[in-house]
Amino acid sequence: MTEHSTPPTVAATAETAHPAQPRTDFIRQIVREDIASGRHSAIRTRFPPEPNGYLHIGHAKAICLDFGVAAEFGGLCNLRFDDTNPAKEDPEYVDAIKEDVRWLGFEWSQLRHASDYFEVFYRAAIKLIEDGNAYVCDLSAEQVRQYRGTLTEAGHASPFRDRSVAENLDLFTRMRAGQFPDGSRTLRAKIDMASGNINLRDPALYRIKHVEHQNTGTAWPIYPMYDYAHSLSDAIEGITHSLCTLEFEDHRPLYDWCVAKVDLPSHRQLWEPLLARGLPTAPSKPRQIEFSRLNINYTVMSKRKLVAMVADGLVDGWDDPRMPTLQGLRRRGVTPAALRLLAERVGISKQNSVIDYSVLEGCVREDLDAHAPRRLAVLDPLKLVIDNLDVDHVETIAFPNHPKDESFGTRAVPFSRELWIEREDFMAEPVKGFHRLVPGGEVRLRGVGIVRCTDVVRDGDAIMAVHCTLDPDTRHGLPGADRKVKGTIHWVCAKHAVAAEVRLYDRLFDAADPDDDADGKTYRDHLNPHSRRSVPGWVEPEAAKADAESHFQFERTGYFVTDRRDHTPHNPVFNRTVTLRDTWGKGR
């Protein structure tokens, strides 16, 4: 794997590529040229997750690229489960991955599994043996390591390297028949033990593993290695551009070697059985192109660590709203459009970088600002009584659902004498520059008119309620409504408001690079203890009524979503997706 030095952090001001303009990253440039030159008439890509965990936001970048490139150039993209490593895989992951890809807004051309091709891989291995390109090796894993050499020293040949084709065929068919114990032999490619690229020093193509596989059961006691299975799977599916992350750059010569030596397009007998199984096949000689991974600060993205966090109960499962998994982000209220916008904004290059978390939040705000209806909610309530309204006064006020988009329509918001306002919108002893409600002062109640504070009810030091009078000439729609006051605050009607649980989330880690173990700490030591708070709040009836997974802007407060699991109209639960403005690190 290629090592890369500490990457620069991309600031929140990353340039937005205009969506209407064709994208010009180096991969799309290559595809464009391949089409222009007639090298390919149709583009085929694939997204190849290993079903050993849930997809995370890094995968979203790969999905947007693989499916996006195919769509932009009139091609097709497959979803392929890279299920060659049976011990770690779980059908729960397979289902979640399919759901997540669709949720992100993409549909695959064909759903495949690397395990669909086990027979092809096997036949191809026989061909490699017959061509003198592979041999069965009896060295132990430890010996293989010793023979391999180092970056500065050539490796040396296995004593089994020059076995005859006949002996290799005999041993390999017996490996396949299950006659040897785990780890006792491997099939290795015969390439170059002195290669400067260690991946080419006779890498293993097959290992013996007597373990049941989710799709093929106990049919196979041998399993192909990643590079071999991946390159041939791409070739089988007729993939033209195999897009993957930079750590595979050093594997590309091996990828190319497998594609060239097996040469599927010229050897129909190797893949023909797939046709009878209803798997249309038109092999290609695919080309691998690498791009940089998505990294985001305050986040860990390794599947191994995410699995551990779930297993050890550091979070509430894969869809904990603080998780960088697509299920977690979804539950938090992040939309597919926001993630697609992020992928576009981050762009595609070979330059490793760490994206600032605020870039993600900016994408979320941008999408939700345009698409989330507005609602009223009060999270830290203080009672406000309008003394000059009758005790039984009730009216409804038409509120626009979106200030910038009339197509959202209006809704009826109940209003009466007693309201809840945010406690922080009142100050008994105002500091300089505070423009909301103060004793004797005026403020506009959103959609209603101007009130003046006439009295403050206390219990000891605690402020229990404020009393006001409403200036009837300033009611919404009347000429006096234009009278200027400095502040406008929101409210909900105490009589009609619905009690809701409001979950306030923050970043899961309190360090920009939770993985940096220079200080002897691991990501586990950097969990942010304040990343989740649950507060009772009051919401207007229209908000409580919403279906699960409805997105709203609570005016002046932030973007919220009804919880996918727990919300019901009788028991409303809202998750804060993101605050209205970027207040991180500003003493919130």
Residues belonging to the active site: 50, 293, 303
Cα 323 to Cα 89, 147, 241, 328, 402, distances in angstroms: 21, 42, 31, 5, 30
Smaller CB distance to ligand ATP: residue 294 or 539? 294
State the CB neighbour count (10 A cutoff) for residue 80. 24
Q: What are phi and psi of 512, to 5 degrees?
A: -60, -40
Helix (H) or strand (E) holding 137: strand 134-137
Return the structure tokens found at 303.
């599947």
Residue 52 C-beta: closest distance to ligand ATP, Å? 7
Residue 588 C-beta: closest distance to ligand ATP, Å? 28
Smaller CB distance to ligand ATP: residue 106 or 180? 106
Residue 306 C-beta: closest distance to ligand ATP, Å? 8
Taking the C-alpha atoms of residue 372 and residue 493, their distance in angstroms, rounded to an integer, is 22
State the CB neighbour count (10 A cutoff) for residue 291. 20
Smaller CB distance to ligand ATP: residue 288 or 335? 288
Nearest to 61 by CA among 361, 324, 368, 320: 324
Taking the C-alpha atoms of residue 121 and residue 127, their distance in angstroms, rounded to an integer, is 10
* Residue sitting closest to ligand ATP (CB): 58
Residue 14 C-beta: closest distance to ligand ATP, Å? 16
Q: Do the Cβ atoms of 90 and 197 come closer than 8 Å? A: no
Residue 76 C-beta: closest distance to ligand ATP, Å? 17
Residue 293 C-beta: closest distance to ligand ATP, Å? 4
24: helix, coil or strand?
Answer: coil
Smaller CB distance to ligand ATP: residue 303 or 374? 303
Question: Angle CA(544)–CA(536)–CA(444) in degrees, nearest 5?
Answer: 75
Smaller CB distance to ligand ATP: residue 323 or 368? 323
Return all residues near 443 (Cβ < 8 A) that are at least 6 apart: 425, 435, 436, 437, 450, 451, 453, 485, 486, 487, 488, 489
Number of H helices, E strands in the chain: 14, 27
Binding site for ligand ATP (CB under 6 A): 48-50, 58-59, 61-62, 244-245, 293-294, 301-304
Nearest to 238 by CA among 95, 445, 75, 444: 75
Residue 315 C-beta: closest distance to ligand ATP, Å? 17
Q: Which residue has the tokens 């041993």?
A: 171
Smaller CB distance to ligand ATP: residue 176 or 303? 303
Residue 66 C-beta: closest distance to ligand ATP, Å? 8
Taking the C-alpha atoms of residue 23 and residue 549, their distance in angstroms, rounded to an integer, is 32
Question: Taking each helix axis from N to C terminus, what angle separates 91-103 and 57-72, rounded to the nearest 10 degrees?
Answer: 60
Residue 58 C-beta: closest distance to ligand ATP, Å? 2
Smaller CB distance to ligand ATP: residue 352 or 454? 352
Return all residues near 87 (Cβ < 8 A) that are at least 6 apart: 209, 211
Cα 33 to Cα 28, 40, 73, 416, distances in angstroms: 9, 9, 11, 66
Smaller CB distance to ligand ATP: residue 251 or 330? 251
Taking the C-alpha atoms of residue 286 and residue 275, their distance in angstroms, rounded to an integer, is 20
Return the structure tokens found at 422.
């945010």
Taking the C-alpha atoms of residue 132 and residue 463, their distance in angstroms, rounded to an integer, is 87
Smaller CB distance to ligand ATP: residue 53 or 541? 53
